[in-house]
């Protein structure tokens, strides 16, 4: 049996791969208007970065991380050795930790400097159970704004993301923006205790996973997919009733700025997001495609403690990531098809086998002049070469016939109008360029 791709991965075939390039281009253009510049960090990082940054108790780190082991280290492990921390490597499950690590390592936000606005695009890896819209390798586009804690940063980035979604063709009426505040070091510990107390009061009704969450991070219970737990958590204390003065003010300002910009949103105090590093603002953009678990097309929030967690000095941060594949699923549900673009402007056809060398050379001249050109590589008849030219969407066909060539001429055929004329071979490329 022919070997197939790994479960939970997808091939981006040419039409989609071209679309993915456009998608990234649109993101770079829109995010660029807001001052974001590209950064590209490795797909592998030390496991410790994710353990310390994202949090050991999160599903992403505790269950879903792919570990990268070289053959040599695998042998060591099988021999019962433990690996040095510099050999413990994981495939990145998300982009923020790596970008913050790079910003700390390269001092991208020196003291007193303006904030660094960074964007990335590329694959992330999570060992989740594959299903529609949930893959093991998927593409994210994300931004991180480092070094500023003003609520204008939060609001600006959220507005920017909503603009991007609209630009790629998801109407605002199809999206639901949910926002919440997760509080900070000052107010969250007390709130966390309140949630734990609440959960302990109903201890026997919670699932096994939530029991583990009680010990590690009770707030994670808000994310539980078990119906009974979800139902119980509806009556749990709400973070927004327990924010400290500073967090309350920060959150109000974010909401005010969103409203002022005409962005519609709903508050959802159960929105805790799956990663430990969030403080204050968190948000998620959902579309209606049935199950909630796969309806999130993007989300993010503020992470003012992350830089310290990974060993840097304090540095505020705000970021989001959007899922490319989920956007595509949404757009396809709205009727989008990947545009089939023609990469061929000119087709050089040969009437005789003797003309093959000349056709080969003429096609090179076209390309040197920036004209996309194709020719037959499979010994087709002239008739099937025309068919191929049509299929490739060529606007002009050049026909090299024995008689014409002996007079130093080639025939140009306008594929739309079928008009033909003879031109000197030496002028063929400039004549073609005039037609295009």
Name the site residues for ligand AMP (rule: CB under 6 A).
94, 126, 128, 133-135, 138, 140, 274, 296-299, 321-323, 325-326
Distance of closest approach, residue 135 Cβ to ligand AMP, in angstroms: 4
Q: Identify which of residues 224 and 410 has a Cβ nearer to ligand AMP in the complex.
A: 224
Closest-CA residue to 347 (of 357, 335, 359): 359
Q: How far is the CB of 142 from ligand AMP (least distance, A)?
A: 8
Q: How far is the CB of 430 from ligand AMP (least distance, A)?
A: 49
**Cβ closest to ligand AMP, residue 50 vs residue 338:** 50
Q: How far is the CB of 175 from ligand AMP (least distance, A)?
A: 12
Q: Which is nearer to ligand AMP, 274 or 312 (CB)?
A: 274
Q: Which is nearer to ligand AMP, 297 or 362 (CB)?
A: 297
CB-based closest residue to ligand AMP = 323
Distance, first Cα to last Cα, the chain: 46
Closest approach of ligand AMP to the CB of residue 306, in Å: 14
- Among residues 303 and 338, whose Cβ is nearest to ligand AMP? 303
CB of 178 to ligand AMP, least distance (A): 12
Instruction: Give the shortest CB-274-to-ligand AMP separation in angstroms.
Output: 5
- Closer CB to ligand AMP, 55 or 298, in the complex: 298
Between 296 and 394, CB nearer to ligand AMP: 296
């Amino acid at each position: 049996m022919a070997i197939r791709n790994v479960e939970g991965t997808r091939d981006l075939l040419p039409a989609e791969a071209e679309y993915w390039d456009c998608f990234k281009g649109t993101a770079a253009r829109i995010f660029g208007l807001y001052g974001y510049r590209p950064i590209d960090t490795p797909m592998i990082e030390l496991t410790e970065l994710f353990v310390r940054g994202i949090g050991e108790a999160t599903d992403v780190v505790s269950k879903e991380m792919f570990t990268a082991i070289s053959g040599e280290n695998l042998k060591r492990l099988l021999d019962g050795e433990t690996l040095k921390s510099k050999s413990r490597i994981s495939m990145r499950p998300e982009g923020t930790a790596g970008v913050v690590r790079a910003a700390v390592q390269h001092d991208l936000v020196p003291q007193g400097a303006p904030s660094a606005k960074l964007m990335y695009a590329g694959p992330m890896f999570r060992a989740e159970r594959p299903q529609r819209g949930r893959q093991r390798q998927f593409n994210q586009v994300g931004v991180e704004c480092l070094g500023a804690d003003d609520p204008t940063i939060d609001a600006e980035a959220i507005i920017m993301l909503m603009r991007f979604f609209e630009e790629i063709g998801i109407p605002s009426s199809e999206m639901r923006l949910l926002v919440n505040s997760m509080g900070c070091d000052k107010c969250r510990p007390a709130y966390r205790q309140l949630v734990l107390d609440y959960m302990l009061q109903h201890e026997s009704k919670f699932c096994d996973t939530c029991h583990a969450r009680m010990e590690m991070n009770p707030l994670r219970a808000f994310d539980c997919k078990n119906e009974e737990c979800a139902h119980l958590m509806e009556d749990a204390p709400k973070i927004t009733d327990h924010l400290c003065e500073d967090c309350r003010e920060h959150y109000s300002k974010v909401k005010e700025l969103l409203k002022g910009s005409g962005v519609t949103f709903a508050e959802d105090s159960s929105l805790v997001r799956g990663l430990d590093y969030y403080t204050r603002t968190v948000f998620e953009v959902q579309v209606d495609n049935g199950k909630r678990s796969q309806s999130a097309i993007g989300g993010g929030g503020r992470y003012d403690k992350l830089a310290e967690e990974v060993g840097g000095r304090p540095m505020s941060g705000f970021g989001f990531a959007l899922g490319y594949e989920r956007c595509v699923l949404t757009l396809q549900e709205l009727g989008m098809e990947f545009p089939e673009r023609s990469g061929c402007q000119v087709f050089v056809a040969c009437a005789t086998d003797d003309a093959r060398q000349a056709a080969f050379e003429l096609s090179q001249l076209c390309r040197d002049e920036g004209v996309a050109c194709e020719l037959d590589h499979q010994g087709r008849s002239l008739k099937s070469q025309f068919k191929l030219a049509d299929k490739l969407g060529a606007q002009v066909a050049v026909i090299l016939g024995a008689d014409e060539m002996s007079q130093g001429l080639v025939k140009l055929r306008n594929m739309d109008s079928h008009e033909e004329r003879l031109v000197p071979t030496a002028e063929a490329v400039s004549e073609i360029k005039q037609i295009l």
